Structure 1
Amino acid sequence: MWRSIKKKLNFEVTVSSIENINIGEIQTKELSLMYSYEDLKQEIKSSPIDYLELHKLQMKVGQLGEAYVYEQECKKLAGTKYISEIDESKASDPKNGYDILSFTREGEPLHIEVKATTGKEETFYLSNHEYQTAKKMKQTGMNYVIYFVKEVMSDNPKLTIIYDISHNKEYGFEEMSWKITKI
C-alpha cells in the first residue's frame, strides 16, 4: 500500500526511529490528542439520544438493584424459616406495586419497592401506582418500604431503606406526568 501511495504522490518516504521520551515530562499542550475533552463533550451533546437504548439500560440497572436487594434480604434472613419465603417474582408483574415480598426476622411480611441508580444522587421516581400501593398498605397495617440502592454498579452499593414514603418528611414530591384522555 505504501508503495502505491508513494508512486502516486511522487515522493520518497524515510522511516526513522522515535526517540524514547518520558511522557510525564511533556507539557499537556505539547501532547497531540485525537479528541480533546471539549470535542468529545460537544460530540455527545450533538448526538441524538436513543431513548430505546436508554430505557433498556435503565431496566438493567433496575434489575441489578432488585438482585442486590434480594441478596441483602437473603443475608438478613439467613438462619430463619423465612429465607425460603422471599418472593422476588413480584417484580415481573407491575400491577403489584412493589418488587419483592420479604419478611422481617420476626416473620412480618415486608413489601419492598426497589429503586436503583448508578450515581450518588438522592432522587428516584415513584409511579402513581407505587405511591397509591404504599398508601393503601399503610392504611391496612401492612409494611411497604422502599429500598433505594445508589452506586449500584460499584463494589460497595449504598442502600437506604425508606419507611412510610407517603408520610416521610425527609422526601419531597414533585408531580412529573399527566394522563391525557380524549373526552
Structure 2
Amino acid sequence: MKLSYSSTPLEIWISQFYKQLGIYAPEELDEQRIARSLGIHLFYKEIPSMAYEFGRFKSITIDKRLSSLMQREHFYHELCHILRHSGRQLIMPIAFRELQEWDARNFTRYAALPLHMLTRYDFRQMEIIDVLSEQFKVTPELCQERLERIKGRLILNNLLNIS
C-alpha cells in the first residue's frame, strides 16, 4: 500500500510564500531576512514576545531571554499574528483570542518546518528529530509535533482512500 499525503492549504501557502522570498533550504530561513522582506521591524528585548501593528508600521519583538531555538519559534508565532490576524487581543472575546493562538501555533509548525523543505529527509532515520531540530534551528518538541501531524494526515488520508 502506497501512503499518500495531501497538503493542507496553509502548508501550500507557506511553501509558496517562502519560494516567493527565494527561500528553499533550511539554512535560508532567517528571521531578519523574512522580516525585512515584509517591511516588519524586528527587535530583541527583555520583554515578552509580541507583534504590533499600527497603520503601515509593523513590528515583532522577541524576548531575548529565551534560547535561540525558542526565539525562532516565537518569531514564527508572532509573524502569524501579523500575516493572518487582526484586532487587539487584549480587548477581543476570549474564544476569538484562543482561536488566534491556536492558529499561530499551527502556523509555527508549518513555517518552522515547511513542507517543500521536508521532502529531502528520510523520516525512518532513527535520529530524524535531532537532525530536523539542528538544521531548522527549532526545538525537538516542535519537530516531534510536526512529524506527528504529518503521520496523522498520512493515516487519515489512507483510511479515507480505503473506504
Q: Verify same fold: TM over 0.5.
A: no
TM range (shorter): under 0.3
- The TM-score, its normalising length taken from structure 1, stands at 0.23
- The TM-score, its normalising length taken from structure 2, stands at 0.25
Could you say which structure has the larger radius of gyration?
1
Which structure's relative contact order is higher, taking Cα pairs within 8 Å and 6+ residues apart? 2
More helix by share: 2
